[in-house]
Amino acid sequence: MTNSLVQIYTGAGKGKTTAATGLMVRALGQGMRVLLVRFLKPQDYPSGEILLLQQQPCLDILNCGEGILFGKPDKAKVRDDVQTAFSQACEKIMAGGYDMAVFDELNNCLHHGFLETAAVIALCDERPEGTELVFTGRNAPQELIDRADLVSVVEKCKHPMDVGIGARRGIEF
């Protein structure tokens, strides 16, 4: 792919991962190779899109290992898992063969100090030609926003969780 870009989906609204999932589906439909790196989400409870996407032969999924949705995980363990997954993802990308790499919840990893922004900027600058990078999650750092080619901020106007309606199977997961 020529003209590969760096995309960011950030903000407090719902739909950042959903937007990135749409990009992956579009790329897979065109026969492209995609790497999905999932941070901060438990792999023991896969969401509906993961259950479907893991069946796609041109998609590789790399799970961070330590999710933060349930309980209070050890922050040092989360940081180690994030850094290990990011390093593995960089090795895979630098080896070539991917048209797109999606780093789901990476912005949150940066915000919480689990990963250094400089490492992500280096990946943006050193990735093989033709590899689109997509970063999701709240709180994207300004330095990464400045480096990106496309930035969408998803705003929250209203959310069911605000009135006690939890995540629903098939809709939010």
Query: In the numeric block, which tokens belong to residue 10?
Result: 């950030």
- Over residues 116-145, the pLDDT tens digits come to 999 999 999 999 999 999 999 999 999 999
- Coil, strand or helix at 126: helix
Euclidean distance between CA atoms 141 and 16, whole angstroms:
16
The confidence score (pLDDT) of residue 160 equals 86
Mean pLDDT of 32-39: 97
The confidence score (pLDDT) of residue 68 equals 67
- Give the CA dihedral 140, 134, 132, 77, nearest 10 degrees: 90
- Coil, strand or helix at 45: coil
- Coil, strand or helix at 6: strand
Query: In the numeric block, which tokens belong to residue 121?
Result: 């900027």
The confidence score (pLDDT) of residue 67 equals 67
Instruction: Please report, rounded to a whole number, the percentage of residues in the chain having pLDDT higher than 90.
Output: 75
The confidence score (pLDDT) of residue 89 equals 98
- Over residues 40-65, the pLDDT tens digits come to 887 777 788 888 999 999 999 999 86
Q: Which residues contact 109 (CB under 8 A, 6 or more apart)?
A: 39, 40, 82, 86, 115, 137
Q: Which class does domain 14-98+105-163 fall in?
A: alpha beta
Query: In the numeric block, which tokens belong to residue 139?
Result: 């709180």
- Coil, strand or helix at 63: strand
Band (pLDDT 50/70/90 cuts) for residue 71 is low
Mean pLDDT of 154-166: 89
Closest CA to 8 of 130, 106, 114: 106
DSSP conformational letter for 135? E
Determine the angle formed by the axes of helices 117-126 and 75-94, rounding to 10 degrees.
10
pTM (2 decimals)? Answer: 0.93
The confidence score (pLDDT) of residue 14 equals 93
Mean pLDDT of 77-82: 93
